[in-house]
Amino acid sequence: MDGNGRWASRRALPRLAGHRRGAEILEGIVEHAGELGIQYLSVYAFSTENWKRASEEVSGLMSLFEYYLKNKLERLKSNHGRLRFAGRRDRLSRSLLEAVENFENETREETGIQLILCVDYGGRQELVDAVKKIIASGAEIDSIDENTISQSLYLPDVPDPDLIIRTSGELRTSNFWLWESAYSELYFTDTLWPDFSGRSLDEAVAAYAARDRRKGGVRVEQY
């Protein structure tokens, strides 16, 4: 969800105003995705590298996360949505961690769209943590395969993403779902995240639907 800061600066607003606007946009996108029948929606909210930002921005973002986690539970539940969390938890404040765990527990039985909030997440860190988990399990070297790694990731029950959308004109995935995105379709748009809309999501899904996904195979022509 890139472009919050640029959206704010173009309006002579503080960066946090862009982040607040981005959070508002996310609410509508989650509901629209559910209406489209999308079962899993992952959002890259804060990366392992984002700690390098100015302390005021980091603090503001953490406060924003906590506010939404404490005040938006019923809205997600009204749409039968479930919240999942991906990322490190040891660097979150106690109050934020409690808010995350409460939201997860309260929506655990919901059967609608699963919103995966990636906070203090990094694809490389996830792989490091997966390797540590495998080593700690005492697995024999010859028994380790792709499935072993997949089952050692943060959310092993969540399928690999079909489509990854990157907003704001950046043409990279920036350490997001490195293992899981091996065969994901990539969609880049110049739209800044605070300007992203249900129509923007529709366009991305339509572009995805028009692609030929062979995953290394050969398309068989029908006659």
Task: Tell me which residues are annotated as active site.
Answer: 2, 50
Report helix, strand and coil shares of the chain as percent, to nearest 5.
50, 15, 40
CA distance linking residue 119 with residue 135, whole number of Å: 25
Element (H, E) at 158: none
Which H or E run includes 212?
none
- Which residue in this structure is represented by tokens 């607003």? 13
The CA distance from 135 to 133, in Å, is 5
- Quick one: which of 172, 184, 169 has its CA closest to 42? 184
